A and B are shown apart, each in its own frame.
Chain A
């Protein structure tokens, strides 16, 4: 574990400590940088029962490199590439320091350096960062060499209605021995955009950081803001409304994944059925709050309003939807031609999933189950009952779909309990005042794809640094590794079974 032994510095000492804690069972939840007057602050987050702890080390001003964490802890692979992109700092010993989130036109300007005093847009001197030579994005890199091998550049403009990402598929024609991802095309500069926003506006941007997990991002942001504001507890009804929307969002995302899988298998009726179910969930969400994605509900300190429909109607509707969906699920999971395409496809080994601290359904399907709703409960979750989780460890696309069906039942179960509670929860305010002031806190919420984490820093009511960490960013890197014996036609199944959002990864 001590790849850095012999030249101990504060940085390597921290890396060794983090690696030790991860080996002892804590989960590596992210590494992020903050530019400050007195140097670059590196913050690593470790998740465990009940809390997320933050471990920090500050590099001296003007430092151009530091010993990389990746050789000690592989899960930091993308995080350190991102640090290199945003701050121009070189993690010494990193195995492949290619650009990850900054696209070519932006790379030639000043570096963003989130957290830099003064905030606003890109600041700081230097071009391209620490004298690095950036590769030409139009040249297609090759990592596997041999006779007859070629690279298919798949994206960033892809067939179908998809978010922009480029997959560089290296193949001899059918197998996929290697695959590379470029997520920088749709980088939007979200982290810099948070800076200098009034903290009350931050939740609106959080909702638009990763739209398919709008509620989860709003919750994680609000939890961080509430910690800074010293809000001990939000009103009970607000906690229940938050649960309702978070679970509806999960239903919509899982139904979307099922629709895409059915579509990939050419099951037109199944795709239509699950598309219809998803539309019904979106409409129910829209009737409750006016947005089909649950936007505008969560505010720091509580929620903005009660659902637009009565709890009894919500219970009825949820019951009808669940019966209708589960009946189609039974048929889908009995359709042999469909199951054949998923079984053994895109397998992520349990040991690899655990080593990476894989989040959400992808992790659960490989036997690594860390669910923030249970392990680090928030809002109303610790008062609501969960049914015992099913064990899955096959790690293939089929296991990931089975996990989604388990979660779907769980979500309906939670929605029923929350609606029941809400029906006789009395009245009173729906939000308590949340003063942002100055402070720093971490907030989390379990989104449809896994844990969303926000590292938030405020000064005098304005945001000075905000780093959203989407499960899409954490899990997407594993896409490299799941194409063992799979071929080109398995690609859409594996992509749909991961079910990730590029917006949250590229920020």
Chain B
């Protein structure tokens, strides 16, 4: 008998039960920065952020655009009373403005409308979903984290989610990277090759906003939003496999009503 048969049994079941059951690793994950208090008078917290994610409102309040946060932690170290890392994996949002914390006025109303129209489109996908991934100028880590969804810990096959080699069979397009101009046309052709209904998920801060590469350079377009209509925005540098899984289930409307430790869908 092949020794691999016994190897497969060696550690018992290592697969997470999430989203059915809470998962300690997911709950304690360190996500993008949130605002926990008012800024000290005199200091400008916006100046410490290398990607311009922190902004001052008209008053004294500060806001963080998590779509720009690369989780370097400078603001948290410098202003521990103002900023903190969020806990959990629920960083994904169905709208780009939905990534701003604290939420902008009107975000909740907009979200409800987006959620309803997305649910209409994804109803046909039911419990068999096929993913296609395209790298549009990533640093290589997002690919590692997406590929990790296939390892026995996450094992997305248990949720009826598979990777497919052809855009013709794909329902969901996972796009990584800051939107390299060289990939704009291959990306668009992949998208055009997918049948309707189709969903686009921007995976990682680079894909959402360009991250440290900025709003747009001679070689990148500051995220993939200018190339494709994005349905789910997922910040993270890179987002861990759990956060990618959360974003997938958010897009498919398959998150339990109160998923454990994720902060709820937005």
Contacts and interface: CB of A to CB of B under 8 A. Distances in A.
A132 to B, nearest CB: 18
A223 interface: no
Contact of B218 (A121, A286, A296, A328): A121
A185 B140 contact: no
Given A185-B186, A193-B212, A296-B71, A122 B180 contact: no
Interface residues of A, number: 64
- Chain B CB count within 10 A is highest, among A164, A209, A502, for A164
A105 interface: yes
B11 A276 contact: yes
B60 interface: no
Given A272-B8, A296-B73, A335-B4, A279 B148 contact: yes
Greatest chain A CB density within 10 A among B5, B30, B72, B218 is at: B218
Interface in A230-273: 256, 259, 267, 269-270, 272-273
Nearest to A263: B150
B186 A164 contact: yes
Contacts of A161: 133, 143, 146-147, 163
B190 interface: yes
Contact of B4 (A269, A290, A291, A293): A269
Interface string B121-161: 00000000000011111111111111110111100000000
B150 A275 contact: yes
Given A211-B238, A290-B30, A276 B135 contact: no
Contact of A267 (B4, B77, B141): B4
A156 interface: yes
Interface in A175-194: 184-190, 192-193
A275 B149 CA distance: 10
Contacts of A267: 4
B32 interface: no
A504 B140 CA distance: 9
A164 B183 contact: yes
Contacts of A157: 134, 167, 186-187, 189-190
B237 interface: yes
A26 interface: no
A163 B218 contact: no
Given A208-B237, A276-B153, A291 B133 contact: no
A39 to B, nearest CB: 22
A376 interface: no
Contacts of A269: 4-5, 7-8
A322 interface: no
8 contacts: A109-B218, A157-B186, A163-B140, A164-B137, A187-B182, A188-B220, A193-B214, A502-B140
Given A186-B138, A186-B182, A304-B73, 11 more contacts: A105-B182, A157-B189, A163-B140, A164-B180, A186-B135, A189-B217, A208-B139, A208-B237, A211-B138, A292-B238, A331-B7
Interface of A: 103-106, 109-110, 112, 121-122, 156-157, 159-164, 184-190, 192-193, 201, 204-205, 208-212, 214, 256, 259, 267, 269-270, 272-273, 275-276, 278-279, 282-283, 286, 290-293, 295-296, 304, 328, 331, 334-335, 501-504
Interface of B: 3-5, 7-8, 11, 14, 25, 30, 50, 70-73, 77, 85, 133-148, 150-153, 163, 165-167, 177-178, 180-184, 186-187, 189-190, 206, 211-214, 217-220, 237-238, 240
